[in-house]
Amino acid sequence: MAKEQYETLKEMGIEDVSEIEKFSSRIEGDMDILKIYFHRDPGDWFAKSKKFKFKRLYKKIRVNEGLVTYRETTESSPHFLRAMAELEQLIVQESTTRGRKELLLEEIDHLEKVVQRKITDLRRQIEEL
């Protein structure tokens, strides 16, 4: 994979894009949150990940040609959008080599493990009360 192809990710401190396993994004208030998960090394208990926060841009848009002429809204920053585009490109390349079904099954297995760990932790906390 050409490093020039993923300049935004490199600027974010990700040197080896082949280590990226998956990513997720969400909006919290006026921030876009991007979490990138990396492949787990044999013997590691937890997945390695990095979280990035991007401030959303405020802008006014014209609406309704009448009573209320402008409304304030937010949109994602260009840097966030470039990072997402590069990550989407990586995932498309990976999904062509692995079946979508296999990826979904892996996500379900991971989710089951996370939920089981959380339930165990909650039971431990209840016992301590």
pLDDT in tens, 6-58: 899 999 998 888 888 889 999 998 999 999 988 877 777 777 889 999 999 98
> Where is 101: in which H helix or E strand?
helix 100-128
Please state, as a whole number, how many other Cβ atoms lie within 10 Å of the Cβ of residue 86. Answer: 20
Q: Which two tokens stand for residue 28?
A: 């919290």
Cβ–Cβ < 8 Å for 49, 14: no
* pTM > 0.75: no
Q: Where are the domains of the chain?
A: 3-97, 100-129
Tell me the β-bridge partners of 22: 37
Q: For 69-93, how does the pLDDT look when each residue is reduced to its tens digit (9 = 90+)?
A: 777 888 899 999 999 999 998 877 7
